[in-house]
Amino acid sequence: MSGLLKRNALTILTLLALTFTAIPAFAESYTASWDPVTAYSDGVAFEAGKTVTYTVYWSTDPTLSVASLKPIMSATAATSATFDPTVATMTRGNTVYFTVKSILNSGEESGLSTAVAWSVPKKTPGAPGGMKIIKL
Protein backbone atom coordinates (compact mmCIF):
# COMPACT_ATOMS: atom_id res chain seq x y z
CA MET A 1 0.00 0.00 0.00
CA SER A 2 1.29 3.42 -0.84
CA GLY A 3 1.41 6.12 1.81
CA LEU A 4 -1.67 7.66 0.20
CA LEU A 5 -3.70 7.71 3.37
CA LYS A 6 -0.84 7.43 5.88
CA ARG A 7 -1.39 10.85 7.39
CA ASN A 8 -5.11 10.17 7.63
CA ALA A 9 -4.33 7.06 9.66
CA LEU A 10 -2.50 9.29 12.11
CA THR A 11 -5.38 11.72 12.00
CA ILE A 12 -7.78 8.92 12.78
CA LEU A 13 -5.59 8.05 15.76
CA THR A 14 -5.89 11.56 17.04
CA LEU A 15 -9.54 11.78 16.17
CA LEU A 16 -10.56 8.39 17.46
CA ALA A 17 -12.52 9.67 20.39
CA LEU A 18 -13.94 6.63 22.04
CA THR A 19 -17.07 7.88 23.68
CA PHE A 20 -18.46 5.11 25.77
CA THR A 21 -22.05 5.80 26.63
CA ALA A 22 -24.26 3.24 28.27
CA ILE A 23 -27.53 2.82 26.37
CA PRO A 24 -30.48 1.57 28.38
CA ALA A 25 -31.39 -1.84 26.98
CA PHE A 26 -31.13 -5.47 27.92
CA ALA A 27 -27.62 -5.59 26.46
CA GLU A 28 -24.82 -3.43 27.80
CA SER A 29 -23.93 -1.16 24.91
CA TYR A 30 -21.09 1.29 24.33
CA THR A 31 -20.27 3.47 21.34
CA ALA A 32 -16.85 4.12 19.84
CA SER A 33 -16.77 7.25 17.67
CA TRP A 34 -14.26 9.15 15.53
CA ASP A 35 -14.12 12.11 13.17
CA PRO A 36 -14.64 11.49 9.45
CA VAL A 37 -11.72 11.33 7.02
CA THR A 38 -12.28 13.83 4.20
CA ALA A 39 -8.87 14.15 2.55
CA TYR A 40 -5.85 12.21 1.36
CA SER A 41 -2.74 12.01 3.51
CA ASP A 42 -1.29 15.00 1.64
CA GLY A 43 -4.26 17.14 2.71
CA VAL A 44 -5.96 17.25 -0.69
CA ALA A 45 -9.72 16.82 -0.34
CA PHE A 46 -11.30 13.75 -1.88
CA GLU A 47 -12.67 14.17 -5.40
CA ALA A 48 -16.41 14.21 -6.01
CA GLY A 49 -17.75 10.67 -5.95
CA LYS A 50 -15.16 9.35 -3.49
CA THR A 51 -16.73 7.76 -0.45
CA VAL A 52 -15.14 6.49 2.73
CA THR A 53 -16.06 3.51 4.86
CA TYR A 54 -14.47 2.44 8.10
CA THR A 55 -13.59 -0.81 9.79
CA VAL A 56 -13.34 -0.74 13.57
CA TYR A 57 -11.35 -3.33 15.51
CA TRP A 58 -10.51 -4.20 19.09
CA SER A 59 -7.60 -6.23 20.41
CA THR A 60 -5.96 -7.30 23.64
CA ASP A 61 -2.59 -6.56 21.98
CA PRO A 62 -1.46 -2.92 22.40
CA THR A 63 0.72 -3.29 19.28
CA LEU A 64 -2.38 -4.20 17.22
CA SER A 65 -0.84 -7.23 15.52
CA VAL A 66 -2.97 -8.18 12.53
CA ALA A 67 -3.66 -11.66 13.94
CA SER A 68 -5.07 -10.12 17.15
CA LEU A 69 -7.60 -7.77 15.52
CA LYS A 70 -11.27 -8.54 16.07
CA PRO A 71 -13.77 -6.52 14.06
CA ILE A 72 -16.53 -4.63 15.79
CA MET A 73 -17.96 -3.24 12.55
CA SER A 74 -16.84 -3.43 8.94
CA ALA A 75 -17.48 -1.28 5.89
CA THR A 76 -19.60 1.29 7.66
CA ALA A 77 -20.01 4.85 6.44
CA ALA A 78 -20.93 5.86 9.98
CA THR A 79 -18.34 7.45 12.24
CA SER A 80 -19.35 5.40 15.24
CA ALA A 81 -19.83 1.77 16.16
CA THR A 82 -21.97 0.41 18.98
CA PHE A 83 -20.91 -2.78 20.70
CA ASP A 84 -21.59 -4.96 23.73
CA PRO A 85 -18.38 -6.09 25.49
CA THR A 86 -19.89 -9.48 26.34
CA VAL A 87 -21.07 -10.17 22.80
CA ALA A 88 -17.66 -9.03 21.50
CA THR A 89 -16.05 -11.55 23.94
CA MET A 90 -14.05 -8.88 25.79
CA THR A 91 -12.85 -10.05 29.21
CA ARG A 92 -14.25 -7.95 32.04
CA GLY A 93 -11.60 -6.05 34.01
CA ASN A 94 -9.02 -6.29 31.22
CA THR A 95 -7.69 -3.52 29.02
CA VAL A 96 -8.53 -3.71 25.33
CA TYR A 97 -7.35 -1.50 22.49
CA PHE A 98 -9.44 0.03 19.73
CA THR A 99 -8.35 1.07 16.26
CA VAL A 100 -10.04 2.08 13.02
CA LYS A 101 -9.01 2.28 9.38
CA SER A 102 -10.55 4.13 6.46
CA ILE A 103 -11.19 2.61 3.03
CA LEU A 104 -12.03 4.57 -0.11
CA ASN A 105 -14.56 3.23 -2.60
CA SER A 106 -11.66 3.08 -5.10
CA GLY A 107 -9.88 0.57 -2.84
CA GLU A 108 -7.16 2.60 -1.11
CA GLU A 109 -6.86 1.86 2.61
CA SER A 110 -5.31 3.85 5.40
CA GLY A 111 -3.11 2.25 7.99
CA LEU A 112 -4.56 1.52 11.39
CA SER A 113 -4.98 4.39 13.80
CA THR A 114 -2.92 4.28 16.96
CA ALA A 115 -4.38 2.10 19.68
CA VAL A 116 -6.79 3.69 22.14
CA ALA A 117 -6.93 1.82 25.45
CA TRP A 118 -10.16 1.10 27.33
CA SER A 119 -10.69 -0.86 30.53
CA VAL A 120 -13.65 -3.21 30.11
CA PRO A 121 -15.91 -2.54 33.11
CA LYS A 122 -16.44 -5.39 35.53
CA LYS A 123 -20.00 -6.38 36.21
CA THR A 124 -20.41 -6.52 39.96
CA PRO A 125 -23.52 -6.70 42.10
CA GLY A 126 -24.95 -3.46 43.37
CA ALA A 127 -24.30 -2.43 46.96
CA PRO A 128 -27.08 -3.15 49.44
CA GLY A 129 -29.25 -0.18 50.26
CA GLY A 130 -31.91 0.77 52.76
CA MET A 131 -29.86 -0.06 55.85
CA LYS A 132 -31.40 1.15 59.12
CA ILE A 133 -30.34 1.13 62.74
CA ILE A 134 -33.19 0.44 65.13
CA LYS A 135 -33.05 0.86 68.91
CA LEU A 136 -34.17 -2.30 70.67
pLDDT at 21: 42
CA separation for the pair 51, 129 (Å, rounded): 53
pLDDT at 126: 84
pLDDT in single tens digits along all 136 residues of the chain: 444 454 454 444 434 444 444 444 447 899 999 999 999 999 999 999 999 999 999 999 999 999 999 999 999 999 999 999 999 999 999 999 999 999 999 999 999 998 999 999 998 888 899 999 999 9
Strands 80-83 and 30-33: antiparallel
Contact 99, 87 (CB under 8 A): no
Give the phi and the psi of residue 9 in degrees, each rounded to 5.
Answer: -65, -40
Q: CB-based burial of residue 102 (10 Å sphere; 0-12 exposed, 13-18 middle, 19+ buried)?
A: buried
CATH of 3-119 given 1.20.200.10, 2.160.20.10, 2.60.40.10, 1.10.357.10: 2.60.40.10
